[in-house]
Structure 1
Amino acid sequence: MKITRCLWIVLFVFAYKTSDAQSMAYKTLLKGVYDKEFPLVNIDDQDVLEAAIFLDTREREEYEVSHLQNARWVGFNEFDLKRVKDLDKDKPIVVYCSIGARSQEIGKKLKEAGFLRVYNLYGGIFHWVNEELPVYTNGQSTQKVHAYNRAWGIWLSKGEKVY
């Protein structure tokens, strides 16, 4: 069911290549991906974002292309709670990936491990960059963003796509 919905969304975006149509399609896609019970944080929620520790749940090669400033790589396929054992379980944690599917899964693992304030970044790094917020590599601002693959890369409308 979700795959069929996603296919229709992609077809809609290709048929109507306007930013409004793409934005509406992206929001619809995200509704189908996110668990309603898992908390999201939006880019305008500065109280949470300014206090948070950011965890990048993408694969290492994606992180190395660019990431949010001061984000710690924890990965998805290779995720291990040992990577976060030094973190304060009471501090806010924001997990993110390309759009938020993988990060939600890692966020659930963190909650199960006793982390109290875990949030999934709404729209992931794609939304972050589409809203013209900065990403970094080696401490330097960059326009490059790993677009995961060409099918998912359609949701990244700003920045320079890297595959």
Structure 2
Amino acid sequence: MKNNNWIILFVLSTLLISSSCTEPKNNQVTMVSQEEMKEIMNLDNTQLIDVREMSDFESEHLEGAQNIVYDEDFELNISKLDKSQPVAVYCKTGGRSEKCVKILVEAGFEKIYDLEGGYEAWTYKDNLE
């Protein structure tokens, strides 16, 4: 009976170790609501990125955001950011930011927030209040 306990313990330990090594890397990406984004924006170390066209950014944007347009230079431009600090990304409706998030993950950023519904959802929510 003692041998069976050791075998069971060994199998469970092996499964636990192997499952922890195969967790998906996308756990560093979090979709956030407007309320959550407001809290994230108040953190000192969050890098807030607006990936819309410059004209959209110049027209209006979230306070504290920097404009890094999603274009052919996006990967080069994000290399200037600190990968160890959280990044919060938004675009107009969420489509471009989803693509940017994938690039940020591949580039090695540790914590990424994506504004659900983009800037349009943000302004729509503010107009309801």
TM-score (norm 2): 0.66
Return the alpha-carbon distance in structure 1 between the equivalents of residues 31 and 92 of structure 2.
14
Partner of 2:50: 56
**Relative CO higher for 1 or 2, CA cutoff 8 Å, sep ≥ 6?**
2
Instruction: Read off the aligned partner of 2:30 and give its amino acid letter.
Output: P
Q: Using the TM superposition, give the Cα deviation of residue 39 of structure 1 relative to its aligned residue in structure 2, in angstroms.
A: 2.4
Pair 47,90 (structure 1): closer, same or farther in 2 beyond 3 Å: farther
Q: Indicate which of 18, 27, 33 corresponds to 1:42.
A: 33
Pair 118,79 (structure 1): closer, same or farther in 2 beyond 3 Å: farther
Q: Using the TM superposition, give the Cα deviation of residue 102 of structure 1 relative to its aligned residue in structure 2, in angstroms.
A: 0.4
Return the alpha-carbon distance in structure 1 between the equivalents of residues 63 and 41 of structure 2.
12
- 5+ residue gaps, structure 1: 1-36, 133-157, 159-163
Pair 97,109 (structure 1): closer, same or farther in 2 beyond 3 Å: same
RMSD: 2.1
Partner of 2:121: 127
Q: Which has the higher strand share?
A: 1
Partner of 2:63: 69
Q: Using the TM superposition, give the Cα deviation of residue 47 of structure 1 relative to its aligned residue in structure 2, in angstroms.
A: 4.5
SS of structure 2 residue aligned to 1:39? strand
- 5+ residue gaps, structure 2: 1-26
Q: Which has the larger radius of gyration?
A: 2
1:112 aligns to 2:106 (yes or no):
yes
SS of structure 2 residue aligned to 1:44? helix
Q: Using the TM superposition, give the Cα deviation of residue 121 of structure 1 relative to its aligned residue in structure 2, in angstroms.
A: 0.4
Instruction: Read off the aligned partner of 1:48 and give its amino acid letter.
Output: I
Return the alpha-carbon distance in structure 2 between the equivalents of residues 118 and 97 of structure 1.
14
* Identical columns (%): 31
Q: Using the TM superposition, give the Cα deviation of residue 98 of structure 1 relative to its aligned residue in structure 2, in angstroms.
A: 0.8
- After the TM superposition, which of the residue ranges 96-105 and 69-78 deviates more from structure 2? 69-78
1:93 aligns to 2:84 (yes or no):
no
Pair 116,60 (structure 1): closer, same or farther in 2 beyond 3 Å: same
Aligned residue pairs, count? 98
Task: Give CA deviations for 1:74-107 in whole Å, capped at 9, x if unaligned.
Answer: 1122442232223221211111011111011011
